[in-house]
């Protein structure tokens, strides 16, 4: 059996929940109606409670296995908290290669300690990381839609119960660009527990068509495309190469390269002007894929391992929270002043920095050392092109609050704008790079602030030609749910830097040849 077939088979269905026996052990825990009569009426079963009220419960946390994209299966936990402090949570086993939601179950109204014990048991088998709701929502509903195109429906308990612990799948949820399938086709991976498998193959024969999907069976039998994969393909599905994410060529792209690419090179101006937008897009995608594949091979494994390890540390020991705007120690003691500060931020975001600055200066009289207030004044000065005043604010702010990640972000951007890369390198060497390095005793952070901070570090690495670490950050931002529009912008910057890297390499080679 080829290494890839071993890897996919072993990792795709790493059934971390099997010890719990999904369909028997995970029945809803009995709830004392006497103790919880405010929570559950006598005629409202756990299933009906989730269906009718589940979406009204605040989200406690969302978890997903860190390597869900490489595994081809996302193991997702979504927990919501009741007013009594207990949790109701659902688990979703999502096949992103082919079949969508394969398994799902729930636990109702359990103590937090019980929940944490269960999660700890699961973590003994697979590494779960905290992420934001938007990512797991997109994984689940995107996989269901993809599977539905090929005749597969989600597990019966999804539509019956566990779908109701998710938000409605509508325009209120940001749409993320997640790739489903394997190399543009469904990949059916069947475990021994799922035999007989002929019914799955029959469905794919009917919906995708014979030869238009891949499969890997418990016996080791596989479709020709899986059988022919080389060891060089395998490495990109395993650490430390996973974060490089090279887009391996599919059949359509290989055809372009083999039969048509050389033809375009010989076109005159008139013929080039006749190339359609679709052809240009495909050629651009081909160029990007070729560059990424080449880039992935250019570094010694030791350097790749170092960058991989660095990326794995970025989100360790912290929790992301989409709902947090300000940290507890940043809140103004007076509620009306806090509302005024929030309105000032809204004014700035609406394109009115003068109004925002006026409010901020009024608040500054009573709160001269409030980090969000200092940040707002700084960005207002920048927006109003008052560089000297902005400089005074950021220098003072960083001196007072060097561990505040928003202030760190702005200060580092200030240093980069001044081309003071050595000073920034010195600061990072002194304080550390990861958020846990900077604040070892702090746990919960605003998602946007964390993404903004690591975006700044990414830009620094790109400007100093540390491309492997840049890609490691980019990969982690993607899997932790950064908004697609922000990710796409950073990815474009990364591609430009990679292009510059290749140009420098080409010039060096030409110089050496001379």
pLDDT tens, position by position, 114-133: 999 999 888 887 889 999 99
Q: Would you say residue 241 has pLDDT above 80?
A: no
Give me the residues paired with residue 164 across strands.
Answer: none
Higher pLDDT, 190 or 263: 190
Q: What integer is the mean pLDDT of 431-447? A: 90
**Residue after which a domain boundary falls, among 165, 200, 218:** 165
**Quick one: tokens of 143?**
């996989």
Tens digits of residue pLDDT in 421-430:
999 999 999 9
pLDDT of res. 75: 93
Q: Which domain holds residue 346?
A: 319-513
Distances (CA, A) of 233 to 247, 248, 471, 495: 10, 8, 19, 22
Residue length of the chain:
514
What does 156-220 look like in DSSP terms, one character per residue? HHHHHTGGGGSPPSSTTSPPP----SBTTB-EEE--GGG---HHHHHHHHHHT-TTSSEEE-TTS
Shortest CA distance to 33 belongs to which of 105, 84, 89?
84
H or E element, residue 356? helix 353-364
CB 47 within 8 A of CB 109: no
Report the pLDDT value the prediction gives residue 284, as an integer from 0 to 100: 67
Token pair recorded at residue 144: 């269901």
- For the cut 80, the answer to whether the pLDDT of residue 104 exceeds it is yes
119 and 128 Cβ atoms separated by less than 8 Å: yes
416 located within any domain: yes
Residue 132 lies in a domain: yes
The pLDDT assigned to 501 comes to 73
Residue 388 has pLDDT above 80, yes or no: yes
pLDDT computed for residue 357 by the predictor: 95
- 155-180: average pLDDT: 93
| pTM metric for this prediction | 0.60
Domain boundary among 165, 189, 223: 165
d(C-alpha 32, C-alpha 272), whole Å: 75
d(Cα 131, Cα 434) in Å, to the nearest integer? 17
Give the domain CATH number at 394: 1.25.40.10
C-alpha closest to that of 246 among 257, 256, 234: 234
Number of domains in the chain: 2
Q: How confident is the model at residue 412 (pLDDT cuts 50, 70, 90)?
A: very high
Q: pLDDT grade, residue 3 (50/70/90)?
A: very low
The residue with greater pLDDT, 368 or 245, is 368
Contact 381, 357 (CB under 8 A): yes
Residue 494: predicted pLDDT: 85
In a domain, 343, yes or no: yes
Block residue for tokens 């080791």: 220
Percentage of residues in the chain having pLDDT higher than 90:
51
Q: In the prediction, which pLDDT does 170 show?
A: 92
Of residues 84 and 10, the one with the higher pLDDT is 84
Count the helices and strands in the chain (H runs, E runs). Answer: 24, 9
Task: Point out the domain boundary residue: 140, 165, 190.
Answer: 165
> Is residue 101 one of the residues assigned to a domain?
yes
The pLDDT > 70 percentage for the chain reads: 75
**Among the listed ranges 289-303, 339-353, 488-502, which one has the minimum average pLDDT value?**
289-303
């Amino acid at each position: 059996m080829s290494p890839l077939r071993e890897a996919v088979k072993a990792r795709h269905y790493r059934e971390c929940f099997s010890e719990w026996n999904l369909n028997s052990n995970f029945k809803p825990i009995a709830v004392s109606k006497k103790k919880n009569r405010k929570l559950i009426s006598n005629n409202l079963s756990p299933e009906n409670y989730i269906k009718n009220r589940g979406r009204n419960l605040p989200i406690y946390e969302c978890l997903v296995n860190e390597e869900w994209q490489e595994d081809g299966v996302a193991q997702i936990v979504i927990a919501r908290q009741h007013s009594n402090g207990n949790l109701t949570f659902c688990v979703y086993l999502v096949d992103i290669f082919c079949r969508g939601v394969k398994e799902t179950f729930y636990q109702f109204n359990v103590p937090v300690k019980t929940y944490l014990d269960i999660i700890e048991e699961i973590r003994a088998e697979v590494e779960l990381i905290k992420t934001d709701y938007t990512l797991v929502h997109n994984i689940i509903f995107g996989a269901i839609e993809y599977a539905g195109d090929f005749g597969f429906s989600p597990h019966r308990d999804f539509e019956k119960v566990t779908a109701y612990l998710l938000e409605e799948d509508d325009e209120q949820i940001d749409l993320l660009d997640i790739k489903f399938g394997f190399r543009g086709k469904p990949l059916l991976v069947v475990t021994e527990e799922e035999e007989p498998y002929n019914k799955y193959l029959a469905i794919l024969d009917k919906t995708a068509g014979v030869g238009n999907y891949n499969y890997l069976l418990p016996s080791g039998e596989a479709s020709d495309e899986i059988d022919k994969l080389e060891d060089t393909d395998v490495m990109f599905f395993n650490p430390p190469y996973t974060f490089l994410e090279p887009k391996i060529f599919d059949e359509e792209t290989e055809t372009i390269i083999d039969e048509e690419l050389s033809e375009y090179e010989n076109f005159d101006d008139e013929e080039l002007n006749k190339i359609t937008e679709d052809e240009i897009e495909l050629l651009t995608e081909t160029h990007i894929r070729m560059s990424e594949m080449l880039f992935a091979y250019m570094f010694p494994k030791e350097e790749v391992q170092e960058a991989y390890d660095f990326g794995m540390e970025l989100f360790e020991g912290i929790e992301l929270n989409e709902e947090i705007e300000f940290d507890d120690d940043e809140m103004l003691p007076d509620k009306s002043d806090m509302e005024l500060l929030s309105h000032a931020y809204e004014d700035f975001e609406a394109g009115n920095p003068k109004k925002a600055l006026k409010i901020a200066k009024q608040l500054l009289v009573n709160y001269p050392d409030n980090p969000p207030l200092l940040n707002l004044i700084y960005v207002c000065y920048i927006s109003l092109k008052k560089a000297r005043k902005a400089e005074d604010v950021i220098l003072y702010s960083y001196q007072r609050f060097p561990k505040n990640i928003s202030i760190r972000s702005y200060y580092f951007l200030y240093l980069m704008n001044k081309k003071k890369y050595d000073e920034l390198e010195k600061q990072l060497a002194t304080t550390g790079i990861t958020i846990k390095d900077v604040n070892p005793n702090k746990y919960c952070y605003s998602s946007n602030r964390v993404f903004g901070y690591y975006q700044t570090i990414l830009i620094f690495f790109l400007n100093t030609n540390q491309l492997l670490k840049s890609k490691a950050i980019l990969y982690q931002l993607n899997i932790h749910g950064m908004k697609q529009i922000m990710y796409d912008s950073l990815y474009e910057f990364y591609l430009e830097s990679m292009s510059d890297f290749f140009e420098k390499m080409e010039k060096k080679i030409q110089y050496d040849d001379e």
